[in-house]
Homo-oligomer: A and B are copies of this chain.
Amino acid sequence: MKVLITGIDGYSGWPLALHLLGRGHDVAGLDNFVTRRRVKEVGSHSATPIPTFPKRQEAVRRLLGKELRFYKGDMTNYAFVRHVLETERPEAVVHLAEQRSAPYSMIDVHHAVRTQVDNLTGTLHLVYGIRDVVPEAHLVKMGTMGEYGTPNVDIPEGFFEVEFHGRKDRLPFPRQAGSWYHWSKVFDSGDVMFGARIFGLRATDVMQGVLYGTRTPEITDDALLTRFDFDETWGTALNRFVVEAVLGLPITPYGAGGQKRGFIALEDSMQSLRLAVENPPKGPEYRVFNQFDAYYSVNELADLVQRVGREFGLSPTIEHPPDPRVEAEQHYYHPILENLPALGYKRSRELEDVVREVFRDLLKFKRRLVARRHVVMPVVQWREADNRGHLSGRVPPAPAPTPTASVAPPTTSDRTPA
């Protein structure tokens, strides 16, 4: 199948390309490399050394004997999106090209706006681009379990049957996201749902849990490694805990640590996305897949990392810094997972094994962590309107607006005398 991956240079975009190539699919991708730049902006880098994209293409050629086509550009440029779709005419598009950090979106007003505007613009451009160029193509859009928040009822896969005042309907499950970033994903979901309805698109909206892990089976050589972020802004909970243990820092579950989330190993996320790609909706449809395979409290993960860390001769301690986020620290959590298992999804990795593998990789690249140990602990306070003061020495500048087709001069705001 011809598959286009937007955000192919990212943590999951890259291993997805390798996985789909391995399954015999014809893969192309696009990226603007913004994650590489923004990770630098916060003073960090990938724990794993990652080659430039042309070197990645070379490694694929050399090690897998495959060609991987690539387009550099920004999805906020509609002409670029159309150009890629017209050149490639993909049968499936996996949309991963989004600003993916909740803490980044909470830095200040400009980062909030940039996150929501760019994510929403890229998604709308893709909805129209598919409608215009490849209306039969299947859009697999990456959302997040975080869109649902932590309601006191089970979390269905996108829709639920409701009875209210004696009448019934099947309605979208209400979204209660917990950061501007997570809201941007809610907005994307709304636009894709409406795009499917008005233009007859085929779409799978993936509500993904938190990813963890450094490896997939296709990463057979260090030249094929994917990035692995560990700083406060770009790293995720479990990944960061292992980094803390390796660096001899305390493991830091935020607050009480009772926050539960759905998690999935990087390798099993690839399995899920591949199942979605290989089983498109038969006709116009908007369907939602919850994509995780277990849920853990942050404390359970901290305990596990501590235990596995001891196998490696480390003596990690656990500390509970105040939660910088605004979230319930104890709550009911029961998301439903039926659609992916119905397509044959089976968990392939046990959490503990993956954690062991992450320890092995991070110990191997420990020098790269030591060089950046100051970026691990959280400083962005989500209730603060402006965190640039806190981020002394590692402050991301206010992001410039991404221009679309043309650029108008700045509006002058003058006060008309009353």
A403 sits at the interface (CB 8 A): yes
Q: Is the CB of B153 within 8 A of A416?
A: no
CA separation between A385 and B128, bound complex, in Å?
A: 7
CA separation between A4 and B355, bound complex, in Å?
A: 55
CA separation between A412 and B71, bound complex, in Å?
A: 11
What range describes how many residues of A lie at the interface?
A: 35 or more
Q: For residue A199, which residues in chain B have a CB less than 8 angstroms away from its CB?
A: 383, 385
CA separation between A165 and B335, bound complex, in Å?
A: 12
Contacting chain B: which of A115-123, A222-230, A342-350? Answer: A115-123
Q: A199-B385, A415-B70 are in contact. Are A152 and B176 (CB under 8 A)?
A: no
Contact string, A104-148, partner B, CB cutoff 8 A, digits 1/0? 000011101100110011001100100110000000000000000
A220 sits at the interface (CB 8 A): no
A residues 57-111 near B (Cβ < 8 Å) are: 57, 67-74, 76-80, 83, 108-110
Q: Is the CB of B418 within 8 A of A408?
A: no
Task: Give 4 new A-B contacts, CB below 8 A, not counting A72-B413, A72-B415, A183-B190.
Answer: A116-B187, A162-B164, A177-B194, A406-B410
A393 sits at the interface (CB 8 A): no
Q: A194-B183, A413-B72 are in contact. Are A116 and B109 (CB under 8 A)?
A: no
Query: Among the listed B165, B382, B405, which residue makes an inter-chain contact with A153, where contact means beta carbons less than 8 Å apart?
Result: B165
Q: Is the CB of B406 within 8 A of A400?
A: yes
Query: Among the listed B116, B132, B413, which residue makes an inter-chain contact with A120, where contact means beta carbons less than 8 Å apart?
Result: B116
